[in-house]
Amino acid sequence: MRTTPFQDIWSFFSGATDSHLGVGTWRWLLVAWYWLLVVASFYLARRNWRADPAQRSLAHVGNWLARIAIGSMWFEGSLWKLPIPSGGFQYWLEQEVQYAAFSIHRTLVKEILLPNFTAVNVVAFLSEMGMASAFILGLAMRGFGLFGMVFAAQLYFGLYLNPNEWPWEYIFIVTLSWLFLVNAAGRSLGLDALLRRETALGTASTPLARLYRLVS
């Protein structure tokens, strides 16, 4: 149940949300991981700010703050998929069987995803936690921006006919992910900026380096 924005934010920061409490003492690992990501993001921002004068702009600071905000959104969104198997996650998959925009989508969820629910639950949790971590750190942001677009688009089409959902919320997530992609937001005070500037990944001609530059 929502209280006030300040209380709810503090509950998330301190591991006191219902989702945190649902995993028992494991919640402290989740809290520690979130704070480690945030502290690392500030460290990376400070290091980039000091090393590269071009990073000292409102646009780069804005991209950095947006990454942290949306990364935190994905982090919190991943928590209600715990513990695995998650009854809440199963409920929303079943909603897609009923409310997806197209019959092929409903059939996919009903015939493939739900019969393999536990594996799908694991993949969904790791996907959202991976996006959260990458967004907060600014790692491979063009790749994860594209992944975020696909992930949110699936929700858009899967819940499109649900009368209690507002489809525009998923369009907003798709749009933000698109902006992260086209602006290569990890190069704004993020890990991508540091890796491209200070490691061989930024200049080498190896397949790994070329792949990294493509997704960052």
Domain boundaries, the chain: 5-215
Identity of residue 197: R
Radius of gyration of the chain (CA): 19
* Mean pLDDT, rounded, for 151-160: 96
* Mean pLDDT, rounded, for 100-128: 96
Q: Locate 16 and state its tokens.
A: 């006191």
Q: What is the structure's pLDDT at 134?
A: 98
Q: What is the structure's pLDDT at 182?
A: 97
Using pLDDT thresholds of 50, 70 and 90, give the confidence band for residue 2. Answer: confident
Mean pLDDT for the chain overall: 95
Residue 1 pLDDT exceeds 90:
no
Residue 92 pLDDT exceeds 80:
yes
Q: What is the structure's pLDDT at 3?
A: 81
Q: What is the structure's pLDDT at 110?
A: 96
The pTM of this model reads 0.94
52-to-66, 88, 138, 189 alpha-carbon distances in Å = 20, 45, 16, 9
Percent of residues, the chain, with pLDDT higher than 90? 93
At which residue do the structure tokens 């959202």 appear?
A: 128
Q: What is the structure's pLDDT at 68?
A: 97
Query: Which has the closest alpha carbon to 37: 58, 57, 67?
Result: 67
**Phi, psi (rounded to 5 degrees) for 85:** -80, 145
Dihedral over Cα of 208, 213, 214, 216: its sign: positive
Structural element, H or E, at residue 19: helix 18-21
